[in-house]
């Protein structure tokens, strides 16, 4: 399998993880969870280095419709709202605290306070740390709550900084 092949969960894969009635074996569910909303096969191999049957498992998930391959897609380094946060952050140190408080409150409501992403955001002292923590918070919210709520989290943070 090509290492640059981009993989992402389908709605069927999302339902398998977040709704009742699981049909996959636990190891396949772990691979499905690790794929998240997008990852290259090479990054997945690095994320799960001790999984000897990874390629077969990915092929199984592909053939059963739990994931899909995105041809010609480039991995996004940061989503559009995160890029807006970084671009508009230079002139917004006064509102940095408000943006961080907004993200922390949203994380508290959707995920709880025990998440490493919550801890990283609460420890962010500057805009670079905030931007890095925001990417992590977005991933957690997308996995635990929904991709739509993750988009709202980033857009809300960007409003405070722009």
Residue 90 φ/ψ, nearest 5 degrees: -60, -40
* Tens digits of residue pLDDT in 91-131: 445 577 888 988 998 888 888 888 888 999 999 888 888 88
What lies within 8 Å, CB to CB, of 115 at 6+ separation is 107, 140
Mean pLDDT throughout 42-57?
A: 88
Does 63 fall in a domain? yes
Does 75 fall in a domain? no
Q: Is the pTM of this model over 0.85?
A: no
Mean pLDDT throughout 6-34?
A: 84
| Residue 60 binned pLDDT confidence (cut-offs 50, 70, 90) | very high
Task: Decide: 81 and 137 in contact? Cβ < 8 Å.
Answer: no
Q: Look at 83 and 158; give whichever has higher pLDDT.
A: 158
State the pLDDT at residue 71: 60
Which range marks the domain in which residue 112 is found?
Answer: 80-161
Separation CA 90–CA 127 (nearest Å): 8
Q: Look at 12 and 18; give whichever has higher pLDDT.
A: 12
| Residue 89 binned pLDDT confidence (cut-offs 50, 70, 90) | very low
Per cent of the chain over pLDDT 70 is: 85
DSSP states of the chain as a string? --TT-EEEE-HHHHHHHHSS---S-HHHHHHHHHHTT-EEHHHHHHHSTT-TTHHHHHHHHHHTTSEEEETTPPPPSS-HHHHHHHHHGGG-GGGHHHHHHHHHHHHHHHT-S-SHHHHHHHT--SHHHHHHHHHHHHHHHHHHT-HHHHHHHHHHHHHHH-
- Same domain for 90 and 146, yes or no, is yes
- Same domain for 154 and 101, yes or no, is yes
State the pLDDT at residue 57: 92
- Ramachandran assignment for 5, one of left (phi > 0), alpha (psi -120 to 50 degrees), beta (any other): beta
- Same domain for 84 and 157, yes or no, is yes
Which of 46, 70, 94 terminates a domain? The answer is: 70
- Same domain for 60 and 92, yes or no, is no
- CB count, 10 Å around CB of 17? 16
Give the number of residues written for the chain: 162
* Tens digits of residue pLDDT in 139-161: 888 888 788 888 888 888 888 87
Separation CA 35–CA 13 (nearest Å): 10
Which of 70, 94, 110 terminates a domain? The answer is: 70
Residue 71 φ/ψ, nearest 5 degrees: -80, 135
Segment among 28-37, 67-76, 103-112 with least mean pLDDT? 67-76
């Amino acid at each position: 399998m090509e290492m640059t092949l981009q993989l992402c969960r389908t709605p069927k894969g999302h339902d398998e993880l977040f709704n009742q009635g699981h049909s996959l074996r636990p190891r396949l569910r772990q691979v499905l969870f690790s794929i998240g909303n997008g990852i290259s096969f090479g990054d997945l191999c690095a994320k799960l280095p001790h999984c000897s049957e990874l390629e077969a498992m990915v092929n199984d998930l592909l053939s059963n419709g739990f994931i899909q391959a995105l041809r010609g897609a480039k991995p996004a380094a940061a989503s559009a709202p995160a890029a807006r946060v970084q671009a508009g952050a230079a002139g917004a140190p006064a509102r940095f605290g408000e943006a961080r408080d907004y993200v922390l409150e949203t994380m508290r409501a959707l995920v709880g306070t025990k998440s490493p992403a919550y801890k990283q955001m609460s420890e962010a002292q500057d805009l670079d740390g905030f931007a890095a923590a925001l990417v992590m918070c977005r991933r957690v919210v997308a996995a635990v709550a929904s991709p739509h709520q993750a988009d709202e989290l980033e857009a809300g943070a960007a409003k405070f900084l722009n």
